[in-house]
């Protein structure tokens, strides 16, 4: 939505429509009377040009009507009606008669419906309620369905699930080891600092998703075991950490297994005409890992046998 125009125009009072106001109680007659009886020039009001509805200045408009003014000074604003309401909230929380707590809470709920992609903190800062109130209201009306990210007060888009963003960064780093931090951050939808932390964790053989983020994701109770969880000694082994092939192996093993709920969700997303193809691809992946497991077990057995033969000969 464009900003309020600095240039003003004088518009016939009767051309303007009532405001879509965040004030639940409507007009304060006492305030209108006070403005009308002041006798001075009224400051410009803000009007949404596409609808000619008042965005800010209801009491000034009513005061002009009350004292018989033919025209009123206006600053116009463009954009959608939803954005006009957001502007009305912003203007009414920073100037003029303050909004009540009920006004601000109701405005936050309405903005959650029209701008669900905005973060809790952004809506809280706009309406003057706490972020926890916005979050509670969001949960009650279920406005996160289908959303994967939110836009913060600074205009940056951040993933709703920080752990998923880190996993996207892992995938990109694995596919393009030479990518810059800025490139990784842009593709994965994370901050540059997060991309740096993910890369450092991978270099040290650590889980790229911190424990607190894994805990925040919750558990469905039917998660498949992740073999790498018991391999902390393996992550610290210099023979793996300091070779390219070892680091690649550690990165591959660091991916968390999907829980049962996510697997069911993925299975339901497969179109009927692709079930055979997807099933075949999944089996190939499983077969490759099983072959890999047999190969390394056989190599380990052969090396142990060779070591015992050397000891017996000595």
pLDDT in tens, 173-207: 988 888 999 999 888 878 889 999 999 988 887 88
Question: Residue 59 belongs to what domain range?
Answer: 9-146
Q: What mean pLDDT value characterizes the chain? A: 82
Query: Within this chain, do residues 116 and 244 fall inside the same structural domain, yes or no?
Result: no
pLDDT at 115 over 60: yes
Query: Within this chain, do residues 164 and 120 fall inside the same structural domain, yes or no?
Result: no
Residue 152 is assigned to a structural domain of this protein: no
Query: Within this chain, do residues 86 and 192 fall inside the same structural domain, yes or no?
Result: no
Q: How far apart are CA 270 and CA 286, in angstroms?
A: 18
Structure tokens at 191: 């901050």
Query: Within this chain, do residues 83 and 189 fall inside the same structural domain, yes or no?
Result: no
pLDDT score, position 108: 94
Judged by phi (left if over 0) then psi (alpha if -120 to 50, else beta), residue 189 lies in: left
Strand partners, 47: 54, 76
Of 84, 117, 146, the domain-final residue: 146
More confident residue, 160 or 221: 160
Q: Is the pTM of this model over 0.85?
A: no
Which of 201, 170, 169, 161 lies closest to 188 in space, CA to CA? 169
Residue 240 is assigned to a structural domain of this protein: yes
Query: Within this chain, do residues 73 and 187 fall inside the same structural domain, yes or no?
Result: no
Q: How far apart are CA 8 and CA 304, in angstroms?
A: 88
Of 146, 177, 192, the domain-final residue: 146
pLDDT tens digits, one per residue of 5-34:
678 999 999 999 988 889 998 888 999 999
Q: DSSP letter at 230?
A: G
Query: Within this chain, do residues 279 and 178 fall inside the same structural domain, yes or no?
Result: yes
pLDDT at 230 over 60: no
Query: Within this chain, do residues 18 and 138 fall inside the same structural domain, yes or no?
Result: yes
Residue 312 is assigned to a structural domain of this protein: no
Q: How far apart are CA 231 and CA 226, in angstroms?
A: 10
| Residue 205 vs residues 163, 194, 195, 198, 250: alpha-carbon distances, Å | 17, 16, 15, 10, 6
pLDDT score, position 255: 58
Give the Cβ contact number of residue 121 at 10 Å.
Answer: 16
Query: Within this chain, do residues 23 and 118 fall inside the same structural domain, yes or no?
Result: yes
Of 101, 122, 146, the domain-final residue: 146
Alpha-carbon Rg of the chain, whole angstroms? 31
pLDDT bracket for residue 156 (50, 70, 90): confident
pLDDT at 226 over 60: no
Dihedral over Cα of 2, 137, 263, 160: its sign: positive
Query: Within this chain, do residues 128 and 25 fall inside the same structural domain, yes or no?
Result: yes
Which of 51, 42, 41 lies closest to 15 in space, CA to CA? 51
Angle at 165 between CA 228 and CA 231, to 5 degrees: 10
Tally of domains within the chain: 2
Residue 42 is assigned to a structural domain of this protein: yes
Rounded to 10 degrees, what is the CA torsion of 147, 151, 152, 155? 170
Tell me the pairing of strands 9-12 and 53-56. unpaired
Query: Within this chain, do residues 53 and 98 fall inside the same structural domain, yes or no?
Result: yes
Query: Within this chain, do residues 65 and 182 fall inside the same structural domain, yes or no?
Result: no
User: Which helix (DSSP H) or strand (DSSP E) does residue 94 occupy?
Assistant: helix 81-94
Query: Within this chain, do residues 67 and 109 fall inside the same structural domain, yes or no?
Result: yes
Residue 301 is assigned to a structural domain of this protein: no
pLDDT at 89 over 80: yes
pLDDT score, position 254: 66
Of the candidate ranges 61-65, 136-140, 212-216, the one whose mean pLDDT is the lowest: 212-216
pLDDT at 131 over 50: yes
Angle at 216 between CA 213 and CA 220, to 5 degrees: 120
């Amino acid at each position: 939505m464009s900003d309020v125009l600095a240039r003003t125009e004088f518009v016939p009072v009767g051309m303007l429509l009532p405001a879509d106001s965040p004030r639940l109680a409507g007009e304060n007659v006492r305030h209108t009377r006070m403005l009308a009886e002041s006798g001075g020039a009224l400051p410009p009001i803000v009007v949404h040009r596409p609808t000619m509805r008042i965005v800010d200045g209801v009491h000034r408009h009513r005061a002009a009507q009350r004292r018989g003014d033919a025209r009123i000074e206006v600053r116009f604003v463009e954009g959608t009606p939803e954005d006009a309401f957001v502007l009305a909230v912003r203007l009414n929380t920073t100037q003029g008669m303050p909004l009540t707590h009920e006004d601000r809470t109701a405005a936050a709920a309405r903005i959650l419906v029209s701008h669900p992609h905005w973060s809790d903190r952004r809506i809280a800062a706009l309406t003057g309620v706490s972020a926890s109130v916005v979050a509670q209201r969001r949960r009650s009306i279920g406005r996160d369905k289908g959303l994967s990210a939110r836009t913060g007060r600074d205009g940056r888009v951040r993933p709703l699930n920080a752990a998923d963003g880190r996993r996207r960064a892992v995938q990109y780093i694995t596919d393009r080891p030479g990518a810059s931090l800025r490139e990784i951050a842009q593709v994965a939808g994370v901050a540059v600092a997060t991309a740096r932390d993910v890369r450092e964790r991978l270099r040290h053989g650590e889980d790229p998703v911190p424990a607190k983020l894994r805990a925040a994701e919750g558990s469905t109770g039917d998660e498949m075991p992740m073999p790498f969880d018991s391999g902390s000694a393996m992550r610290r082994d210099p023979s793996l950490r300091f070779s390219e092939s070892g680091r690649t192996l550690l990165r591959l093993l660091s991916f968390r297994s999907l829980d049962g709920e996510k697997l069911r969700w993925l299975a339901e997303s497969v179109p009927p005409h692709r079930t055979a193809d997807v099933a075949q691809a999944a089996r190939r992946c499983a077969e490759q890992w099983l072959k890999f497991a047999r190969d390394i077990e056989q190599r380990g057995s052969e090396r142990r046998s060779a070591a015992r033969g050397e000891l017996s000969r000595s």
